Structure 1
Amino acid sequence: MKIKRFFIYFSTLIIMGFMVWTLINSPDQLSFATYPFIYVKNADLNALDKQAVNDSLDEFSRENNLVIVKRIVQPTKEGQRFVYQKFGAGDLLRGFPEAPKNIQGISSVFGQYLVIQGELEEQRLANQFYNFGYQVEIFEKESVISIVVAFLAGSSLSVLLILVFTFTALTLVLRIKDLRFAGIRLISGETIWSIIFRSLRSDFVDMIGALLSCILLGWGILVMQGISQDRILLLLFAGQSLYIVLLVFISIILSGIYFFNLKSMNLISIIKGKLPLHRLVGIILFCQFLAMIVIGWGTSRIPLLIYTYQEQQSATKKWDPHEDLVNISFNVGKEINSMEAFDEEAKLWYPFVRDEIEHQNALLVNHNLLNYIFSDVDPQGNRLTDYVPLGNTLFVTPNYLNEQNISVDDILDTQLEDLKQGQFVLLMPEKLKEHSDEYQKLYESHMEMYGLDSGEEDAEILFDFSAVVGYVPNNQLRFIYNHTSISSKQFLLDPIIVIVTPASLGNTFSSRLFWMEMISDYFYLSDFDQTVSKLKEMDLYSSVSTVSNSRQMYYEQYSKLRMELLTLIASTVIGVATSVLLFNSMNLLYFEEFRRDIFIKRLSGLRFLALHQNYLITQLTVILLGFCLTVFITKSLWTSIAACLFFVINGLLILYRQMKSENKLAISVLKGK
């Protein structure tokens, strides 16, 4: 019982740790998700201006005793931060920081609105904005349970499954031990119900104790971190309670099986040791099957995650000097639904991009990783290693060479300082020199798209492109400044480097769209304060959602990857330990049920394999089924073979050890003791 009590407390503590970590990292987002809200996404031609909307909404809130807030994303050096503009006479709730007046002044009408005090149907709030001349979408609040279930993703799901398997195995082992004494208790006058209730009561007491202890501990940690919103604490309570309810459900189900086993056997059979274990054997076989799949899946992912982690880690020294680089994200409330509208927006941003590059305040590093998220081959049949514009190619601005200490000859260096319209520099590794003419034609043909005057199929090319060719040494890893989650790759080996500027691409329709598309993920600005000041100066700040530190975003991805790797390793280790326990449980059941038969067969001269033939066939069948499904899921044959061999060797060793132990009790078994 002590080991089971320890496991209940320990597993509940693990779940608490996962939840507290998630709540600390995103408290305001989770609290926001528990409210319904409306999303103002577009305006009609006759829509009220921002000041009129704010005044009308504030008056509406006061008349109906409401507090309505607008969610605003405030760019900060720490990354994304949500603040709120209040409408009405009440106060903002804890966890809803008020937006500074200057932020309120430059934010647009578009965005998310919710009622945090008072009673109001979302449709009535939406109708107000319809009357103001805006298009609105209504979103229902997320239930607490759905938010908690969202925690169970990725590696945390495997941990939960492993914990459930372990609890099931431990409960079965204890039920087996209870069966040995069930006959004696029945003779002494206890009823079957009282025997079952005894074990359930013990489980419930331990579970309630674990639940209360972990909730108090988790609440204390959250308060120490400055997180005390009621809805956040409710999420913690719901998550812990959901896990405990799951354990209670398993305990009740197993007790039900235990009850039917006792009910189906007469008292004399139980006293003689003929225990009704067939249903329990089936459950443990199923747990073995599931445990093998989980372990096989986890084991197959560990090498991949280690490689990904090492690849991400390899760039830390490259990122560290760039502590001031920032990226811009666009306002989530701004909807652009046509190429013409996109070009109008791009025309507003093009002068900003041009000025920042001309003054050496911005850096372009555009790679093609996005094309290879789901496959090694893109829809055009290209691979990331192919020397084509959509393959092993970097599009950069001239200052990339200085940032990465890439040397070129003096003539080329002079040309880089003043690229004319239609010119671009094509830097190839020395190994491609023999076929340089072919690559020059290929890339010049590709660059012609940036000379188009519109997005129509018959658009005219306004000017031709010509490449200035240069060469760099072979076997060079080029840093690509990847801070996104699309890939862990941080370097490309010997890419072709295409060097462009806004002046060289011209102020064309296609060029403007190119620079507009680059801004969020591939366009790095040199300083937060300077960038924000420039955005305000050019009246672009209201279109910005965040101005995020690039290095910080990289380290956030790095940290998430490290946590995922550690979680996966921990869950796999727990899974391995669970599998040993499961096989021990299976062997215990096997010898409990067939102890006499095993001893008689041994006296008749049967050896180990013949003696346990049926049992071994059963175990091997489970392992082979698990192996086949693991190969299908993981697509990793060698990892699945390793997992299969582990289970086979582990099972044989445990069986051999158990048999030696049983041999010592053989005489007692023969006498029926």
Structure 2
Amino acid sequence: MKRVFLFISNLLLTFFLIATLSFWKEALPQRLFPGVAVLSGQADYTTLKQELDSLARKHNSLIARTIWEVDGDGKSRTLYEAFGDGQLPDWMPPASQESIHKSDLLNNYNIISGSLTSQELATHLKELGLEKANAFENDRVSFVLALFTQPNQLTSMLIFLLTFLALIVIGQIQSLSQSGIRLISGEQLSHLFFRSLARDGLDILLFGLPALLIASVLLISLGYPYEVQTFLGILFILYNSLLFLLSLLIAILFTISLKKVHLLSIIKGKLPIKSILRILYFGQVLAILLVIVGFGRMSTYYHILEKNEAGQATWEQRSNVVTLQTGRSSQMKNLDELQTNADKWFDFIQHAIDNENAFLIKHNLVEQALKQATSNHNETENNPYGVEGKNILYVTPNYFKKEGIKLTSETFQKINTLKDGQILAILPEELQKNEKDIKSILQQELTNRLYSSKSNQKIKIEIFSNLASTMFAILTSILLFTSLNLLYFEAFRKTIFLKKIAGYYFFELHSRYITSQIIALFLGSGLAFIISKNIWITLILFFSFSSLAVLLLKICDKKESKTYVSIIKGG
């Protein structure tokens, strides 16, 4: 069981990492290679190209400048311009000369290969006139740690560690009699300690490495660069080092126990079974808690994502609708320049709206999903009319006419007489009784802050993150059930055997054990309901897990029954 767990857990973690990287595929150069982020300044492109080509050749290096451009469908894509000798990797598409000349020099410059350092590159760019050039290194360890220290992944990791802890303990218990016999035969305690540690270390390597190999092959087949393999290697080392440290801790504790416990008790395999069961039950509580909360959040995220994508599909059918976005150079200016640009944009848009050539629209479905899934229920009750997390559509007055939306003549009159700084909140019937409170809070919050647009990407990452954590928890829960059963039959095999001979049925035999498991599941489900407030998901998963617990116990009981029959027959 321990070896199966080592293979599956390593495979799951590496698959999660690969899937997560797919969301940042276009930003991989910033994760893989050192470079410089240029935030402000001006430079002549011809001079810049000549100097960077010369610098790259001097250090036998290849430099890539990131270029973002928008295609005919309004979707952004990432291209690169190379400086120096050599070619860009296949997964970094080169920019055309037209894109290069149109692009902004305020971008990221990555060192793909060679001896050039990011500090040297930053100094050179500053000398060329790009005065705010910040060097950065590719800290891949920090990136992997950041991924797996998110709340969902951290909880999954904790469950994995608890499961491995339980499996090590079960293995130590099963080998107790043999250890006692070895001690009686004169073997030193230190030999037993290192034997146990070497066995666990070898298992980690033999069953973790195949998972790493499978993930590496998958990564290459999906077209990822070979450099990404380092992320898998870092994850493998970090995770399995934690497992080995746990193994070391348990080996030390069992060695101390062997010194203190009487040899006869050791040979009989007597150890604090209840303490070990508590660890496993605690892991089971965490597992079902994570599964229920994860499913609850996924249902919320998926509902919002469907709405968002349906809206995007509708807008994409209209060729005259665009998304307004700004690049880095438009934001990295002094206050006077920013104000001048803002005034120009305002005049341009205002002219288009006044001449009925345009209207503006914005929604906050993404903010709503993230807020709704992560906010505290009491927090929502205290501020029922807050803007954040509510499904609000922001439009300019001419939107209703352009879209043919029917409103009362009184409402149209109010819309047409709006002055600068005024807003009109059009509420559904169920909220009209709270009109005064909602308008007051809307005006206050809209005055204090601006909204920035979000993409579906953030929601998709959250959905996948919760799905991965939930799958981790389900598989870990199955391992925990199996571990509990192994420990249960190991500890009470004699009692169960005698009761079977006496004619006890399945539920009579295991009633106390089943009750203990259901109590642990009920506790986890109760905590999950307090967090998620989703009664149906909680009930369905509670009964599903309870049924799974009984089913796995039944399977284990059948296997044990075959052993009892063999014993009775003298096999």
TM-score when normalising by structure 1? 0.63
Which residue of structure 2 aligns with residue 305 of structure 1? 298
1:275-332 C-alpha deviation (Å, 9 max, x unpaired) = 4624x75455345335424533542443243234234335554443333554243223
Give the distance between the partners of 2:421 and 2:155, measured in 1 at CA: 54
Counterpart pick for 1:39 among 25, 37, 40: 37
Cα 1:434–1:366 shift into 2, 3 Å: closer
Structure 1 position 332 matched with structure 2 position 328: yes
Task: Count how many residue pairs are aligned between Structure 1 and Structure 2.
Answer: 539
Counterpart mapping for 1:658-669 below 5 A: none
Cα 1:564–1:90 shift into 2, 3 Å: closer
SS of aligned partner of 2:453: helix
Structure 1 position 255 matched with structure 2 position 246: no
Whether the aligned pair in 2 keeps the contact of 1:24 and 1:225 (CA below 8 Å) is: no
SS of aligned partner of 1:84: strand
Post-superposition shift, 1:62? 3.4
Whether the aligned pair in 1 keeps the contact of 2:295 and 2:537 (CA below 8 Å) is: no
Whether the aligned pair in 2 keeps the contact of 1:129 and 1:135 (CA below 8 Å) is: yes
Gapped regions of structure 2 (runs ≥ 5): 499-510, 564-571
Counterpart mapping for 1:275-290 below 5 A: 275=269, 277-278=271-272, 282=275, 284-290=277-283
Structure 1 position 62 matched with structure 2 position 57: yes
1:633-657 C-alpha deviation (Å, 9 max, x unpaired) = 9486989998999999999999999
Paired letter, 1:108: D
Cα 1:282–1:421 shift into 2, 3 Å: closer
Gapped regions of structure 1 (runs ≥ 5): 456-513, 523-552, 600-611, 666-673
Paired letter, 1:159: S
Which residue of structure 2 aligns with residue 580 of structure 1? 481
Structure 1 position 407 matched with structure 2 position 406: yes
SS of aligned partner of 2:314: coil
Whether the aligned pair in 2 keeps the contact of 1:42 and 1:335 (CA below 8 Å) is: no
Counterpart mapping for 1:544-583 below 5 A: 553-554=455-456, 556=457, 559-581=460-482, 583=484
Structure 1 position 212 matched with structure 2 position 144: no
Cα 1:64–1:650 shift into 2, 3 Å: closer
Cα 1:109–1:589 shift into 2, 3 Å: same
Counterpart mapping for 1:49-448 below 5 A: 49-76=44-71, 77=73, 79-152=75-148, 153-187=150-184, 191-193=188-190, 195-196=192-193, 199-227=196-224, 229-271=225-267, 273=268, 275=269, 277-278=271-272, 282=275, 284-314=277-307, 316-324=309-317, 326-336=322-332, 340-350=336-346, 353=349, 363-367=359-363, 373=371, 383-384=385-386, 394-396=394-396, 398-399=398-399, 403=403, 406-408=405-407, 428=426
Paired letter, 2:18: V
1:611-648 C-alpha deviation (Å, 9 max, x unpaired) = x99x99x99999999899x5899486989998999999
Which has the larger helix fraction? Answer: 2
Whether the aligned pair in 2 keeps the contact of 1:38 and 1:138 (CA below 8 Å) is: yes
Post-superposition shift, 1:232? 0.5
Give the distance between the partners of 1:586 and 1:330, measured in 2 at CA: 61
Give the distance between the partners of 2:406 and 2:208, measured in 1 at CA: 63
Cα 1:149–1:263 shift into 2, 3 Å: same
Give the distance between the partners of 2:311 and 2:367, measured in 1 at CA: 24
Give the distance between the partners of 2:421 and 2:458, measured in 1 at CA: 37
Counterpart mapping for 1:629-668 below 5 A: 634=531
1:429-462 C-alpha deviation (Å, 9 max, x unpaired) = 68599999x98xx79x979x99xxxx9xxxxxxx
Give the distance between the partners of 1:428 and 1:212, measured in 2 at CA: 60
Work out which of the two has the higher radius of gyration on C-alpha atoms and give 1 or 2. Answer: 1
Cα 1:433–1:370 shift into 2, 3 Å: closer
Cα 1:428–1:329 shift into 2, 3 Å: closer
Whether the aligned pair in 1 keeps the contact of 2:36 and 2:110 (CA below 8 Å) is: yes
SS of aligned partner of 2:328: coil
Post-superposition shift, 1:110? 1.3
Give the distance between the partners of 2:387 and 2:123, measured in 1 at CA: 54
Whether the aligned pair in 2 keeps the contact of 1:73 and 1:82 (CA below 8 Å) is: yes
1:66-89 C-alpha deviation (Å, 9 max, x unpaired) = 333222223244844332222223
Cα 1:624–1:411 shift into 2, 3 Å: closer
Post-superposition shift, 1:40? 1.8
Q: Indicate the percent of aligned positions where both proteins have the same amino acid.
A: 21
What's the C-alpha RMSD, in Å, of the aligned pairs? 5.5
Cα 1:78–1:353 shift into 2, 3 Å: closer
Deviates more, 1:150-159 or 1:423-432: 423-432
Give the distance between the partners of 2:315 and 2:147, measured in 1 at CA: 33
Paired letter, 1:395: V
Cα 1:197–1:425 shift into 2, 3 Å: closer
1:328-353 C-alpha deviation (Å, 9 max, x unpaired) = 43223543466543321123434653
Post-superposition shift, 1:106? 1.6
SS of aligned partner of 1:521: coil
Whether the aligned pair in 1 keeps the contact of 2:122 and 2:135 (CA below 8 Å) is: no
SS of aligned partner of 1:18: helix
TM-score when normalising by structure 2? 0.72
Post-superposition shift, 1:170? 1.8
Paired letter, 2:471: A
Give the distance between the partners of 1:397 and 1:257, measured in 2 at CA: 72
Whether the aligned pair in 2 keeps the contact of 1:285 and 1:586 (CA below 8 Å) is: no
